[in-house]
Amino acid sequence: MRLDKFLSSSGICSRKEAIKLTLKGALTVNGKTVKRSDVAISPECDTVCLNGEPIRYEEFVYIMLNKPEGYISATEDGNLPVVTSLLSEALQRRGVFPCGRLDKDTVGLMILTDDGALSHALLSPKRHVAKIYGFTLSSPLPKGAEKRFAQGVPLKDGICKSARLCLSEDRLSGEIVLTEGKYHQIKRMMQTEGSEVVFLERRAFGGIPLDTALGRGEWRPLTQEEVTILKNAPAKNKDL
Ligand code: URA
């Protein structure tokens, strides 16, 4: 791999900036100052340092974000702010993207990564990865909603997979577990019961709960343990 590619995919700097760093003599490979940013290196075997600090090569990055209201689940939008703009420049440079979508007004757990294969696996309808949402409604859900949700709510684009609904005593709020992601799914499911969602928060994804230490708009890398849970999520969460 070229040194400049290594630096940009490690989120350190752009390829252009890598040229400047080499001119400054800030980069070493195995202790030797490099003169060109296009030299070939082996990320696994060589030690690359910037100003004496070793750069650890990560093939992929996995981020947990507590999405605030008003952000679009995308990497670009003509008018509105996008979730990736909340990340560091280095992560944006790596091409990190959101794994699935939340509506603009939905808040809570988003996973972002540059691991396309894992993202694809987690979003595949065949995998049944569980997502838990907390919600508040405009009016109480009628009796029997739990059973109807478990049986599969019919929407115009198909029958929903069985969803587990857990309601508060006044039936105005609760949690729902989905294993798929149709457009505006929870909002539309609630509408079939004559109610509107007034607040929606994703609280867990594929066995990973939202870190409550993160404020809205804050993010952190997933721990190694969380990455392992996520990688095993498709198979393990088959039966809700
Ligand atoms: N269901 C919705 O209606 N909106 C979301 O953002 C997620 C699930």
Place of tokens 């708009």: 217
Which residue minimizes the CA distance to atom 3 of ligand 1? 184
Locate the domains of the chain by residue range. Answer: 3-54, 62-125+207-231, 131-205
Assess whether the region 62-125+207-231 and the region 131-205 belong to the same CATH fold. yes
Amino acid 234: pLDDT: 61
Q: Which of 136, 198, 200, 202 to mutate to test the pocket of ligand 1 (most atoms within 8 A of CB)?
A: 200
Query: Does the domain spanning 3-54 belong to CATH 3.10.290.10?
Result: yes
pLDDT band at 41 (very low <50, low <70, confident <90, very high): very high
Is 211 designated active site?
Answer: no
60-90 confidence digits (pLDDT tens) = 999 999 999 999 999 999 999 999 999 988 8
Task: For ligand 1, atom 2, name the residue with the nearest CA.
Answer: 184
User: If pLDDT is split at 50, 70 and 90, which confidence band does 237 have?
Assistant: very low
Taking CA atoms, 170 is separated from 42, 134, 230, in Å, by 61, 15, 34
Q: Please, what CATH class does the domain formed by 131-205 belong to? A: alpha beta
| Distance, first Cα to last Cα, the chain | 42
Q: How far apart are CA 164 and CA 186, in angstroms?
A: 12
Report percent pLDDT > 90 for the chain: 82
Q: What is the pLDDT of residues 182-217, one digit of tens each?
A: 999 999 999 999 999 999 999 999 999 999 999 999
Provide the whole-model pTM. Answer: 0.86
Task: Express each pLDDT in 162-187 by its tens digit.
Answer: 999 999 999 999 999 999 999 999 99
Which atom of ligand 1 is nearest to 101's Cα?
Answer: 6
DSSP string, 171-214: SSEEEEEESS--TTHHHHHHHTTT--EEEEEEEEETTEE--TTS
Ligand 1 contacts (CB < 6 A) are 102-103, 106, 184-187, 200
Write down the architecture of domain 62-125+207-231 according to CATH: 2-Layer Sandwich (3.30)
